[in-house]
């Protein structure tokens, strides 16, 4: 695979909600992009998800909810109000206790359904300010990137014990 193609697919995997850094960094390293370039490149791509997601959510919400009570889609308003109220009741005490740091930890755990997309969505629904959300997403993505790089690099070297080296022929 060519260098441009490897970087393109790394960027693509780093920004889609399914894989994010869990897909971008291992793909890059597997395609001969050095880890010290793969990690920061994937992190920068994944950090850009936060503002894009926030703007997308805010724009769609304004269109569907409407700026005045008589405008907007009534079904959306009812569903949104019930969903947000329920989410805020359940999660608000935790957000008040942990603040943006709790969102950063949530984003920083490299597991499915955690990451920049879900962290931004959750913070937006709960009414956390954009500034605090972006700070949490950046911190969380950096933490996740470090974890994924460490796991990939130690995983690559951990499997060296299974590779036969023929010392007599030098291969």
Residue 79, token pair as written in the block:
């569903």
For residues 135 and 150, give the distance between their C-alpha atoms in angstroms, rounded to a whole number.
Answer: 23
Containing structural domain, residue 141:
47-162
Residue 168 inside a domain? The answer is no
Predicted confidence (pLDDT) per residue in 12-29, tens digit:
999 999 899 999 999 999
Per-residue pLDDT tens over the stretch 91-131:
778 777 888 899 999 999 998 888 999 999 889 888 889 99
- Is the pLDDT confidence value at 8 over 60? yes
Q: Does residue 157 lie in a domain region?
A: yes
* Exposure class string for 8-28: b at 16+ Cβ within 10 A, else e: ebbbebbbeeebbbbbbbbbb
* Tens-place pLDDT, residues 74-93: 888 888 888 888 888 887 78
Place of tokens 């007599």: 168
Question: In this structure, is residue 79 part of a structural domain?
Answer: yes
Largest CA distance in the chain: 82
| 163 secondary structure, DSSP code | S
- Residue 52 within a domain: yes
Is 124 inside a domain boundary? yes
Residue 113: which of 12, 14, 20 has the closest Cα? 20
End-to-end CA distance of the chain: 25
- The tally of domains found in the chain comes to 1
* CA nearest neighbour of 22 among 146, 158, 160: 146
Contacts of 118 (CB under 8 A, 6+ apart): 17, 106, 107
**Closest Cα partner for 45 from 72, 70, 73, 11?**
11
Q: Quote the DSSP letter at residue 129.
A: -
pLDDT tens-digit map of 29-40: 999 999 999 999
- Determine, yes or no, domain membership for 21: no
| 20 Cβ contact list (under 8 Å, min separation 6) | 13, 14, 46, 49, 110, 115, 116, 117, 144
Query: Does a structural domain hold residue 93?
Result: yes
Rounded Cα distance, 142 and 43, in Å: 6
Whether 16 is covered by a domain: the verdict is: no
């Amino acid at each position: 695979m060519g260098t441009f193609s490897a970087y393109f697919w790394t960027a693509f995997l780093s920004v889609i909600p399914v894989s994010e850094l869990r897909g971008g960094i291992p793909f890059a390293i597997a395609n001969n992009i050095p880890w010290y370039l793969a990690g920061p490149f994937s992190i920068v791509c994944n950090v850009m998800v936060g503002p894009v997601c926030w703007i997308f959510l805010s724009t769609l919400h304004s269109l569907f909810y409407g700026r005045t009570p008589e405008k907007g889609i009534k079904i959306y308003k009812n569903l949104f109000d019930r969903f947000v109220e329920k989410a805020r009741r359940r999660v608000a005490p935790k957000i008040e206790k942990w603040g943006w740091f709790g969102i950063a930890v949530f984003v920083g755990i490299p597991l499915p359904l955690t990451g920049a997309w879900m962290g931004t969505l959750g913070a937006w629904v709960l009414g956390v300010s954009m500034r605090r959300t972006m700070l949490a997403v950046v911190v969380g993505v950096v933490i996740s990137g470090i974890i994924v790089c460490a796991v990939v690099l130690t995983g690559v070297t951990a499997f060296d014990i299974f590779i036969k080296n023929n010392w007599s022929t030098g291969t």
